[in-house]
């Protein structure tokens, strides 16, 4: 059985909204849904989601997790994107229709690193709008959010 580490809330974080702080406080309590053979999982994220740096799609983290959890992977990641940033002409909110068409039981959203340069005042409302729209579009799906990956 694999485990997933949700990271990003460590020493001296910048000021965050109450919702973000609550999510950070609950990280140690986070669990992934139980593996069910064939469960469809839609992955939304930036360039790490479709496998930048993996060298081979079989080595990307979404595929490894899906294989380990017996999930059917739908990879909707797009390089350069984020909650606010539309680096490849569509931000995360623009991917929601594709997620809906895949009829996922779970949506795993990873990223946001491409938004950091815009400042929380600009991208914060986009985060809220994205999750509100995602929940409205997929009211029965489990939604899992993972913080952005940070490079040195």
Query: Residue 3 has what pLDDT?
Result: 39
pLDDT band at 10 (very low <50, low <70, confident <90, very high): very low
- Rounded to whole angstroms, the Cα distance separating 18 from 23 reads 9
Query: Residue 73 has what pLDDT?
Result: 93
| Total domain count, the chain | 1
Q: Is residue 14 situated within a structural domain?
A: no
Query: Residue 36 has what pLDDT?
Result: 54
Per-residue pLDDT for 1 more than 60?
no
Q: Is residue 47 situated within a structural domain?
A: yes
CB atoms within 10 A of CB 27: 13
pLDDT in tens, 28-80: 444 455 545 679 999 999 888 888 777 787 888 899 899 988 899 999 998 88
- Rounded to whole angstroms, the Cα distance separating 125 from 51 reads 27
Q: Is residue 15 situated within a structural domain?
A: no
Q: Is residue 67 situated within a structural domain?
A: yes
pLDDT in tens, 101-135: 999 999 999 988 888 788 788 788 888 999 999 99
Q: What is this structure's pTM? A: 0.73
pLDDT in tens, 73-94: 999 998 888 888 776 678 999 9
| Domain of residue 84, residue span | 36-146
Q: Is residue 28 situated within a structural domain?
A: no
In this predicted model, which residue has the larger pLDDT, 25 or 8?
Answer: 25
Q: Is residue 4 situated within a structural domain?
A: no
Q: Is residue 20 situated within a structural domain?
A: no
Please name which of 96, 36, 111, 110 lies closest in space to residue 72, comparing C-alpha atoms.
36
- Domain CATH for 114: 3.40.50.1110
Q: Is residue 98 situated within a structural domain?
A: yes
């Amino acid at each position: 059985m694999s485990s997933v580490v949700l990271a990003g809330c460590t020493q001296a974080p910048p000021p965050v909204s109450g919702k973000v702080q609550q999510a950070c406080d609950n990280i140690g309590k986070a669990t992934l849904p139980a593996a069910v053979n064939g469960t469809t999982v839609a992955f939304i994220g930036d360039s790490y989601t479709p496998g930048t740096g993996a060298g081979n799609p079989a080595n990307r983290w979404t595929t490894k997790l899906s294989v380990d959890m017996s999930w059917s992977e739908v990879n909707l990641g797009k390089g350069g994107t984020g909650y606010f940033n539309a680096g490849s002409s569509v931000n995360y909110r623009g991917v929601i229709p594709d997620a809906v068409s895949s009829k996922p039981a779970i949506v795993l959203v990873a990223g946001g690193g491409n938004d950091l340069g815009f400042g929380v005042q600009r991208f914060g409302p986009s985060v809220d709008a994205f999750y509100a729209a995602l929940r409205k579009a997929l009211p029965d799906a489990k939604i899992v959010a993972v913080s952005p990956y940070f490079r040195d």
